[in-house]
Amino acid sequence: MPVYQLHFDEDETGLARRLEFTASDSSEALIFAHKEARDRNAQLYLDDTRLCTIRRVRSQPPRQAHYSSALSA
C-alpha cells in the first residue's frame, strides 16, 4: 500500500506536524486526511508529490453589540 503524508503547519490550533499513513488509493487517503484535518489546514502528499491542500474556514465569533445612549437619568 502507498504511504501518504499529511503536513500541518503551526497555527493557532496546534503545532507543526507530519502524519504518515497507508491507504489503498488517493480517494481513501483524502477521506482520511479530511477527518484528521477537520480543524486545521493541511497538505496531503504521496512521496514528494503534493496531491492537494485542505483549507478550513474558521468562522469568527459574533461581536457583541455596544450601545450608547444620549439619554441620561
Could you read off the pLDDT of 15-42 as tens digits, one per residue? 999 999 999 999 999 999 999 998 899 9
62: left (phi over 0), alpha (psi -120 to 50) or beta: beta
- What share of the chain in percent tops pLDDT 90? 60
Predicted structure pTM score:
0.73
Strands 42-46 and 3-8: antiparallel
Query: Residue 71 and residue 69: Cα distance in Å, rounded?
Result: 5
Distances (CA, A) of 34 to 8, 14, 38, 50, 61: 12, 16, 6, 15, 23
